[in-house]
Amino acid sequence: MSRIICARSADKAQGGVLALCLKLWMAARLIETPWQICGRETLGLRIIDDPDHIFHGKIPVTPVMDTQLDRIVIQSILIPLRHEVLKKIQDKIFKKDPAMWFDLLAAVFISLNTIEIAVGHDHEFATLYGHVLGMVKYMYLQKC
């Protein structure tokens, strides 16, 4: 527990790279779950009554709105945050200070986990819509 408290103190004192990595991780999760309409204004859309549907009891946004909301999060949050995180990680690496190694390891781990989850989500989405290449096709494309 004391190690975590020390890491938090060091993170704040050293520019907050861990906090930024966690913000990036959280923001990346925003676009993974489907958007839905909440509140009184439903834009003329109805609640899905089909018990087998993924949106049962909810009002999903239209595909165009879903794409637009994702783009807003990507452009206004994810891209600027990504640049800031990578810059801070790079700065800490170039300082070569052993006192920052724990923060760097944690920041890189969180960043890699963010990528892992995003790629897994993309693969799941592609599989759902039949866009996954088989290994033979992939190997063939690699040779071309």
Domain boundaries, the chain: 2-34+71-143
List the structure tokens of 48.
Answer: 């899905």
Of the listed ranges 48-52, 87-91, 128-132, 140-144, the one predicted with least confidence: 140-144
pLDDT at 87: 95
Q: What is the pTM of this model?
A: 0.70
Mean pLDDT value across the chain: 83
Candidates 15, 27, 23, 22; CA nearest to 89 is 15
Please list the alpha-helical segments (H only) found in 39-78: 63-73
